[in-house]
Structure 1
């Protein structure tokens, strides 16, 4: 994913659903919301996939992790696009990381090589 590229529709739909507080109420609602947003259930329960992206929900909803496949540049671009999309949605979201705040870096920034990036 190049810098500034748009996120896949299913990823944007997921961000919209989370922002509207409609997705993370219970495990059944999470599965239904992901399917409605265009995510495909995988063989493993609580695992959905679309366009090189994965969502894995926790065993205690409401909780999920989102993963993107690709080379480092693509993954960095995807992370930056998600951070920008969340920042644009509302003042309720704050960027929180255990490492440095990478949300405004370029995909070529050498700080990405740090082991502190989460």
Structure 2
């Protein structure tokens, strides 16, 4: 099981997604926790690293936990993603391992990782 924390940023009918260098699918921005980190610690760190913005930790609220086959992993390797909505400050920009940032709609569902498809179904359909 791969344990991840993600930022669910929805504006209108679009959700903020990111694509890493060398990958073709998009996913919700976020990542794996480091030892001793809480969900919120992970969220703040990962979003700062990936998108160069600061999450307003006091505004974070849980949006659900989603589990699916992990993208590009052998069959049976699952990812569990704890999603949080939160306000932010700064200007969103691809940073570090992120090659591209995009605002995707439900019509783009096939462009995202399997776990993100569940999130699209829940929040954009």
Shorter chain as normaliser: what TM range?
Answer: 0.3 to 0.5
Structure scoring higher RCO (CA < 8 A, sep ≥ 6) equals: 2
Higher helix share: 1
Q: TM-score, normalised by structure 1?
A: 0.33
TM-score by length of 2: 0.32
Structure with the largest fraction of strand: 2
Higher CA-based Rg = 1
